[in-house]
């Protein structure tokens, strides 16, 4: 969390930044995946992405032109949603994509943890 603040939100205090997220379990705004579930995916598949990106949630600006210090405009996004949404899709449009990605995560992770049917060929 502190890494993200240093990297993106240095113009507000860390306390302000943390307070905005303290009561939330960090999860992807679009597909809902949590940090813990991302770790499970990596445990299942140690080479999940090229160059190892995607291990942590990223900060996403809903309106891409706003500053990172506008906390109301910030959400977490997983690497996969962030990468696919780019600046091309609106939040509303991408929520539909996120719902499908969520289904896939649930298939892979199972509702209660690891799913043994995780595809071997990926």
| Site for Zn ion, rule CB under 5 A | 28, 30-31, 78, 81
* In the complex, minimum distance from the CB of residue 27 to Zn ion, in angstroms, rounded to a whole number: 8
The structure tokens listed for 80 are 């996969």
* In the complex, minimum distance from the CB of residue 103 to Zn ion, in angstroms, rounded to a whole number: 12
Nearest to 31 by CA among 108, 87, 88: 108
Closest to Zn ion by CB, 42 vs 69, is 42
Helix (H, G, I), strand (E, B) or coil at 54: coil
Closest to Zn ion by CB, 69 vs 110, is 110
Instruction: Tell me how far apart the alpha carbons of residues 85 and 93 are, in angstroms, rounded to a whole number.
Output: 9
Closest to Zn ion by CB, 19 vs 104, is 104
């Amino acid at each position: 969390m502190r890494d993200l603040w240093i990297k993106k939100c240095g113009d507000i205090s860390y306390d302000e930044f943390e307070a905005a997220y303290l009561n939330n379990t960090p999860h992807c705004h679009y597909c809902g995946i949590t940090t813990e579930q991302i770790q499970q995916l990596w445990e299942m598949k140690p080479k999940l992405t090229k160059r190892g990106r995607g291990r942590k949630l990223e900060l996403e600006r809903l309106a891409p032109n706003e500053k990172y210090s506008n906390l109301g405009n910030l959400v977490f996004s997983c690497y996969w949603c962030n990468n696919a949404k780019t600046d091309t899709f609106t939040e509303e449009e991408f929520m539909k994509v996120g719902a499908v990605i969520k289904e896939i995560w649930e298939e892979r992770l199972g509702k209660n943890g690891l799913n043994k049917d995780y595809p071997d060929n990926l």
